[in-house]
Amino acid sequence: MRNLFLLLWRNNFTILFLLLQSLSIYFLIRNNRFQQVSVFNSTNAVVGSIMGVVSEVTEYINLKENNENLSRENARLKALLPESYYENRSVRTMVADSSRSQKYSYIAARVINNSVNKRNNFLTLDKGSLHGVHPDMGVISSTGIVGIVKDVSEHYCTVMSLLHKNSKVSARFNHNNYFGSLSWDGDDPRIAQLSEIPKHVVFKIGDTLVTTRYSAIFPEGVMIGTVRKSNPDMGGNFHDITVNLSTEFSNISHVYIVDNLMKSEQNDLESKTESEDDK
């Protein structure tokens, strides 16, 4: 017994190393798997406020481009207003419309921390639980999809970017309903990979890809990108497609957090069906 203690004491350096190392690996694995409210990430108030100041400076540098993007989006939305349609009927009556109810609402947020150069990238936004942000909400920008909310603190939230090894988004062609799964191989922040599109589907270079209506996270039809090229894949039943992402991840400053008001209803129903199916 005494010898054992002596052995442990003599190797205390190695033992401390192994202890701390397993602690780090535990953190690392837990961070990849679960959502957490933790002081150890950039939703932490100190880190958040430092990043906030920095983003104010960098935002100023990109002000011109951001303004252009926002005004382009404004123009597109203005075109959808009732005022911009020519009224064909001469009499216009207002009807309290109960045939439609609102499904999505949007929370505007500012990006205060962002990366594109790592294998797993995150963004930090300046909106948190105080503003009604919850984990698993979708995040889009004026040009396309961005990612999914991961952790939320009172004033900040972190977003798992599309540029992350665990990000998988279902995408479909704008002109037909064939859908596949979009992921990122870690190389170029402007290019993603689309898999699971069957061989018989016909498409052209430059075709638009949008989100599907199957996910409860993103609204249907949000722009994702365009087909860049399709590599002929010997064998296999699927196309191997690379996609030009429409969101410029390295230069992103204003985003919208998507609040799906009917998400819990859909998820509850689906999990109920699944659990009944198991019986």
Partner 1 sequence: MISEILKYSLKFILLVLVQVLILNNIQYSGFINPYAYILFLLILPVRIPKSLLLIIAFFTGLTVDMFGNSIGLHASACLLLAYARPMVLRILAPRDGYETDTVPSIIGQGFKWFMIYTALLTVIHHLLLFYLESFRLSEFFTTFVRALSSSLATITVIILFQYLFFNQFEVKK
Restricting to residues 196-235, name those near partner 1 by CB under 8 A.
none
Q: Cβ closer to partner 1: 139 or 222?
A: 139
Closest Cα to residue 159, out of 116, 223, 191, 211?
116
The SS3 of residue 30 is: helix
47 near partner 1, judged by CB under 8 A: yes
Q: State the virtual CA torsion across 160, 162, 163, 168 in degrees, nearest 10.
A: 100
CA distance 221 to 244: 17
Restricting to residues 240-279, name those near partner 1 by CB under 8 A.
250
Q: Answer whether 178's CB lies under 8 Å from 226's CB.
A: no
Candidates 36-44, 82-90, 132-140, 260-268: pick the segment binding partner 1 (CB under 8 A).
36-44
Please state whether beta strands 191-195 and 157-161 pair in parallel, antiparallel, or not at all (unpaired): unpaired
189 near partner 1, judged by CB under 8 A: yes
Q: Cβ closer to partner 1: 21 or 74?
A: 21
Candidates 101-109, 112-120, 170-178, 255-263: pick the segment binding partner 1 (CB under 8 A).
112-120
Chain-centre distance of CA 15, in angstroms? 40
Residues that bind partner 1 (CB under 8 A): 12-14, 16-17, 20-21, 23-29, 31, 38, 40-42, 44, 47, 51, 54, 113, 115-120, 122, 124, 158, 165, 185-189, 250
